[in-house]
Amino acid sequence: MHKNIDKIKKLESSPKVIKNLFNKIELDKFLKLYQDLPTTVHNKKQNVIKKRWLKNYNEELELLFNEKVKNEIGEFKMDNLKDENNDDILGLFQESYNPIGLHVDAGFNLDEIIFKQTLIPLTSKGSTVIFKNKFYGNSTNFTIDEKELKVKDLKYGQNMRSSDHLKIFKKKPFNQEEYKKYLKHEKIENLSGLEIDLVYEWELGSILIFDRSRLHCSSSLIDGKKIGLTTFTKK
């Protein structure tokens, strides 16, 4: 568990969506950056392409992003993984054709004070489900799939696998209507005890900001593919 949970909790707030934060020219620059970056992972099983936002690929965009986010959340530091050359990775672009499962992006260093994460849609179709439930361990994929739970040989920057969320939250059945509407890609048993706080319907130009302790996942509503940029901050 994180060592500074009290400090982390004092910084927490409700998830929020800021509309019209980026204009079309700025979004086109993000998309061009995505196209220019080398592919980090092409997971054909999950049908997802991941590209790391590498430092110094576009310094103008780095400054633009930092300024706009600072205006919304105040002072922050980027919580960066490192690439093979020990340079900072500023975020993660994901192009996905299937929904991304239940997880938390709470970081890999339990000494740090995790803060907010952001999601910028670069395509207009898609939605993200943020739950009220929080988790203060490492970045984790939550699953009841026995095969997944046996995966222990994790590479640098990979999420742990766990079903611990089912022990932490009260055994309250998940809302059936919300399940059918948003989360049919998940096993309903894996959502036991969870409550939806916000469903963020992707909209170009907007940004979603939420606490890194929050459990979240994609909704099952995908039309073709979606591309988004996620970044992680700390204090």
- Does the pLDDT at position 43 exceed 70? no
Q: What is the pLDDT of residues 69-78, one digit of tens each?
A: 999 999 999 9
The CATH number of the domain holding residue 160 is 2.60.120
Using pLDDT thresholds of 50, 70 and 90, give the confidence band for residue 80: confident
How many residues in total does the chain contain? 235
User: Higher pLDDT residue, 30 or 45?
Assistant: 30
What is the pLDDT averaged over residues 9-37?
Answer: 96
Q: What is the pLDDT of residue 46?
A: 62
What is the pLDDT averaged over residues 91-106?
Answer: 92
What is the pLDDT averaged over residues 73-85?
Answer: 86
Using CA atoms, how far apart are residues 47 and 51, in angstroms rounded to an integer? 14
Using alpha carbons, select from 47, 29, 31, 49 the residue that is nearest to residue 39: 49
Using CA atoms, how far apart are residues 32 and 51, in angstroms rounded to an integer? 12
User: Higher pLDDT residue, 108 or 85?
Assistant: 108
- Does the pLDDT at position 195 exceed 90? yes
Q: What is the pLDDT of residue 156?
A: 66
Q: What is the pLDDT of residue 148?
A: 86
- Does the pLDDT at position 184 exceed 90? yes
Instruction: Report how many domains make up the chain.
Output: 1
Using CA atoms, how far apart are residues 89 and 95, in angstroms rounded to an integer? 17
In this prediction the pTM is: 0.92
Asked if 107 and 212 touch (Cβ cutoff 8 Å), the reply is yes
Secondary structure letter of residue 39 according to DSSP: P
Query: By residue range, what is the domain housing residue 145?
Result: 5-234
Using pLDDT thresholds of 50, 70 and 90, give the confidence band for residue 44: low
Following CA atoms 56, 96, 132, 160 in sequence, which dihedral angle do they give, to the nearest 10 degrees? Answer: -80
